[in-house]
Amino acid sequence: MFKGLMPVTRALLLTCIAVFLLQQVAAEPLLVYGALWPLNGGPDFPPFQPWQLVSYAFLHGGFPHLAFNMLGLYMFGSEIERLLGTRRFLTYYFVCVVGAAVAQLAVTFLGAGGAGPTVGASGGIMGVLLAFALAYPQRKIIFLLLPIPMPAWLFVTLYGLAELFLGVTGTLSGVAHFAHLGGMAAGFLLITYWRARRT
């Protein structure tokens, strides 16, 4: 299953799975120290720490959360890693992760998001998905919940608009919609920067 994967994609998958297994025996300390906690969480929450901008992306809130994110990484990660190269893909992924964290911290600081911790690799995965759509806009994608093939550019556009709508309306509270958008935005800015440097 993992043999055909590129090295960074494989390492991310295995690390997330390993951390999830560790969560089953040490959930509380991992959540306290590794989750992304709001800047203005107050005395009832652990304080924000700089490493949480990255560590939160290796924690997940249950098996479905992990499975959905790892499926996205499995499907799109290696292809984008081949396209960008291993070192640049590693940079890209973590820029998206940090961008997602910054967006989530901003909305919680402004009172627009939940006050609890944020976990999950979704911001990084959304960045990878955006890169796939930019590189292969006409490639067909089938979403599990809506099994209708559609071009990658359309799928990612609709996904982004849905995240924006859900975030603004507060629908599906408990899901970090603005973090997902932050991961996409960070990825878009980095790709734009790299493209500008080539011209």
Model confidence at 160: pLDDT above 80 = yes
Q: For residues 134 and 191, is the Cβ–Cβ distance under 8 A? A: yes
54, 57, 58, 61: CA torsion to nearest 10: 140
What pLDDT was estimated at residue 113? 58
**Dist. CA 104–CA 127, nearest whole Å:** 15
Residue appearing with tokens 């550019």? 153
Secondary structure (3-state) at 37: coil
Task: Assign 59 a pLDDT band (cuts: 50, 70, 90).
Answer: very high
What pLDDT was estimated at residue 168? 82
pTM for this structure?
0.92
Tally: H helices and E strands in the chain: 7, 2
Give the other-Cβ count within 10 Å of 60's Cβ.
23
Task: Identify the structural domains of the chain with CATH numbers, from first to last.
Answer: 7-198 (1.20.1540.10)
